[in-house]
Amino acid sequence: GSYKDIKKENEKYEHYYKEQKCFDVSQFDQFLEAMKRPLPAVFRITGYKKHAKQLLKNMKRNHFEDLTEMVIGEETIKPPVPLPWYPDELAWQTDLNRGQIRKVPQLQNFHSFLIAESESGHITRQEAVSMIPPLLLDVRSHHKVLDMCAAPGSKTAQIVELLHRDENNAIPDGICVANDKDNKRCYMLVHQIGRLHSPSTIIVNHDASNFPEILVKNDVGEEIPLRYDRVLCDVPCSGDGTMRKNTDVWVKWNQANAIYLHRTQYRILLRGLELLGSGGQLVYSTCSLNPIEDEAVVAAAIQHCGGAVEVIDADLPGLKWSPGVSKWRVMDRDMNWYETHDEVPENKKKNLSYSMFPPGGQDVMEKMHLERCMRLLPHQQDTGGFFVAVLRKTKPLPWQKDEAKMETKSETNGSETKIQAPPRKKRKWEPGFKEDPFVFLSSKDEATSSQITSFFGLKDFPMDQVLTRTTSEKKKQLYFVSKLVKNIVETNIDHVKVINTGVRVFSRSANTQNDLECEFRLVQDGSECIEPFMATRVVPIQIEDVKRFLLEEQPKYEDLSEQLREKLKDVAPGSMIYKYQPENDDADVACELLLCGWRGTFSSRLYMNNHERMHFLNMLGVPVPKHLLPNTNARRARAEEGEKKEEKENGGEEEKKENGMEGEKKEEKENEEMEED
């Protein structure tokens, strides 16, 4: 049968979970019923943008009011509701499934809105349970965070938002290192994370269970291993909590999947704990309900770490979940159950390892506090199935002797003692796309640097944190990274496979005339990073002019407000930023807006793609004109074609595998037509 006609039953699965008793068996029928229903659509407004609240206000006003009384066929459509446990009403659930949102004509506006906002990074469609681990990580803007198995990137995006939660600082001190083992999936990450325009993110490509020691130079130039404040281990798993979305799991499920994955999960968790600094927190999560992939992995790691790691209490107000269990059994391929490793016949001991079983009697297990782990079941809050545990590392692990020594030494003599890095091993790269180099601007690029600095009046802007992806003389794109990212890229050049980093701040102007004072123009992506440093070429603008620029490709000067024309008189032709600032918090548009523009001789225009334009219009509550709307028919055909594939991706994001540079090439082409004299 087709993908849609899969029979949603599996006797082995039912038998396994009834007997395993990892949740209240009296609710088993409710659990099974819920597993057979399709998942509601959930989306999230990206929270670190100053724009989030403004977008939320207009989304409720312009889209949700239309949905309140809607009837499709015989059914009355319930309006979307906010997830009770997600902060600030920034995540919403609707009973409309993705198929309906796409196919029902009355929902066309809502669908276009979702597409535009997803493309420009202001809304992420994401499964509700997958939003939980980043919230439990408790990320602050100074934290160094490692996401070990990051693709397709929706959880990473949340981490990056949390790093940027301090609205007054576009360049946080912290960092997010996002890793994935699969080279192709790293490009999905590039797409997801790239939309957030963060200078503090770095995407790398390594096997998580053998993740390399990243080195950083300290203040006196010694190389020391980077230790993280937060680590996310969202490990590969059997996915048996995802049956509502990945219906083929009903057919494919068997008890051996968990046994096959357990060792990998355990190795990734142990590596994460090694890289975590003392006092730091690690979140371990799976979209499986199986204790072999869940509590067994956590318990084995705690025992192996000999008192250096503990499970801590975690909760989100409004979230319903079941506590983790301290007793479970292991089933072999022939469906025999074993309570302890000793019961396993010799010929099966290699396959069913000691770490799959509870590591001790009741007293040992009680001290582990596995009841603090969270198991989320589909019937509790209409979600997928999920498991999550928050671990704290209280001291270096027993085999991290050097670090333990250093910690006691610095406590006793009061001075800051640094751990010397281990000798370097040249790594063998995993096969994959050959990356362009990362080349920071240096003294030989003085001409470029000083031209940019003087034209845009940059005060104290760290030009040495600007990089390019080419060794050639003629640089086309310039990217900006935070100080710590620069430190990492330069110190680990032969040692860590960096796929992507930096936010694009300048692009070589396509204008071939020689009368331009600066060969580079600003890029919308980097406006938040660069504007605080600009002493010139930032022009204040009122909301009426903002609307005019967004709706018209190239408004004439006489159509702009007199106020703006006055301000533009003193601005030489070339790239610039328009800045809107609300008069007060009650203004209809109550957040600051930065718009990259071009000042020509007879007209002025914005430099942004259609998705960004639509986003700003959505934020202002202005209906989007037809010519900007996405071609939904073409998208629909693509979407239906790709649906099977897409639904299998953990988190259900649309698969984007571009190299990340391709989008820029396309944009370059569009922009070449924009520059006029």
Binding residues for S-adenosyl-L-methionine: 149-155, 180, 207, 234
C-alpha pair distances (Å), 317 with each of 94, 133, 522: 21, 14, 43
Q: Are 215 and 226 in contact (CB under 8 A)?
A: yes
Using a 10 angstrom Cβ sphere, with 0-12 exposed, 13-18 middle and 19 or more buried, the burial of residue 515 is exposed
Task: Provide the pairing of β-strand 144-147 with 228-234.
Answer: parallel
- Which three-class secondary structure string do you get for 58-107? HHHHHHHHHHCCCEECCEECCCCEECCCCHHHCEEEECCCHHHHHHCHHH
Give me the catalytic one of 22, 176, 237, 287: 287
Nearest CA-CA partner of 81 in 382, 388, 384: 382
- Rounded Cα distance between 279 and 341, Å, is 33
- Rounded Cα distance between 545 and 564, Å, is 8
Q: Is 393 left (phi over 0), alpha (psi -120 to 50) or beta?
A: beta
- Rounded Cα distance between 110 and 72, Å, is 15
Amino acid at 609: N
- Rounded Cα distance between 229 and 128, Å, is 25
Longest dimension (CA), the chain: 88
Binding-site annotation, residues: 149-155, 180, 207, 234
Directed axis angle between helix 543-551 and helix 610-620, to 10°? Answer: 140
Nearest CA-CA partner of 179 in 129, 231, 140, 130: 231
Cα angle 514, 449, 533; round to 5: 110
Q: Are 157 and 630 in contact (CB under 8 A)?
A: no
Q: Are 190 and 500 in contact (CB under 8 A)?
A: yes
- Rounded Cα distance between 26 and 291, Å, is 19
Task: Provide the pairing of β-strand 175-179 with 201-204.
Answer: parallel
596 is annotated as an active-site residue: no
Name the residues annotated as catalytic: 287
